Structure 1
């Protein structure tokens, strides 16, 4: 279980760093004319070296996430992934000229404290498979992610970034649950197709959200989408449980980690392409 927690935190480290690189690369890519789903945007972003670095970090993070999902309850992995925003905050303060105040560093500490409470309360990974229809439900949810992206792409900037980020989070959440359901690679397994469709659509939506709206709003939506649904699926269908008498610690730790991570979401915002990062005023965090 300790190894799984190390892998989950390593995954958060990779994903948090990837966010900074990919957000900067997405802003530097030439804008398109499509809605929320724009494969051409992903191709243009891939031509930016920073997006390649972010993609490599995402790949490493995904491998670590799969290992963690095989040994930890979904709610623990979800909260650990939410902590990637704390990593983003720390990196943004170095790479993007963002100054964190004491309150923001307090939020970073709160994320760590919440994860500590979760680690203390975590029981063994559940071995339930859920209802027989669950893989098909996952596939249906994954198929709805592109539709949500297409609808979100027509909205004004702020709600568009939120909807695209939420859609990306739902797609990544589908991946988390599908990993738990997969037993080998079988082409006829709907969980496998849900993983591929959900993950691919999530990348497209997140790239669009980074370019076309506030990165901070997009990351907040993503955290909500990829933590709440999988945590509920793990508890209600897959048999995830806490240690005897530690349910309070799990609930408190989960709430604190996610809430503190959302408080840090605004520190994923890179300056516009070609513009130097503004120097923040003393005692004020800026971007």
Structure 2
């Protein structure tokens, strides 16, 4: 099986720095695994890697689409699998768990026709009647729509039993960190982003419906719904909550190799383990 290495973890955990070190050591190419950095317009708010930070390492799917171009997990899956087939040592870096897992595991997606949908309550009733064995979050509208569309395409979501079957030989690195230190890093990074023009970037994107941590709260500030202080505090709180959910998801879904993101020997530890992985 093709070997693929991934670095995941919360924002501010050191994924970018470690990825460049590893890419240099093992002649890897990086595939972006962050669903926000895919878009050209989302730079400061996504903490997108800069050309200088890339340090000559080839990166893929950074600024890959504009906000006017629809791009889904289905598109990501196709793009990443194609890249993996072309790159000798692919290194996926990011925190978008579903995107990453969909590309590496036997997820099945269908391109759906755009058609008018019934009310949510009607879709729920239809799903329960036609796929009674389904395990679904009935409060998640996006998943309800997806399940409904799957059924009307002639399939059942409950029949998709390959979600935990990897298509590649995967070495998944999760960078863990004490939550108090992580919070300090999140606060520092947010202040840096605001100094670099995060508010101005958000202002230029006001016509878009960006339900993304940071952009969402700053849009509330620009619409005079929040004070700047409240917006900043909310961003930090939401980022920490998201980091907690991220960790739970990766631990339950992908069984990662956990490393202390603050270890002074991190690069040496990970490099040694990757070397063994590539030889195996």
In the superposition, the TM-score normalised over structure 1's length comes to 0.25
Structure whose alpha-carbon radius of gyration is higher: 2
| Structure holding more helix per residue | 1
In the superposition, the TM-score normalised over structure 2's length comes to 0.25
| Structure holding more strand per residue | 2
Structure with the bigger RCO (C-alpha within 8 Å, sep 6+) is 1
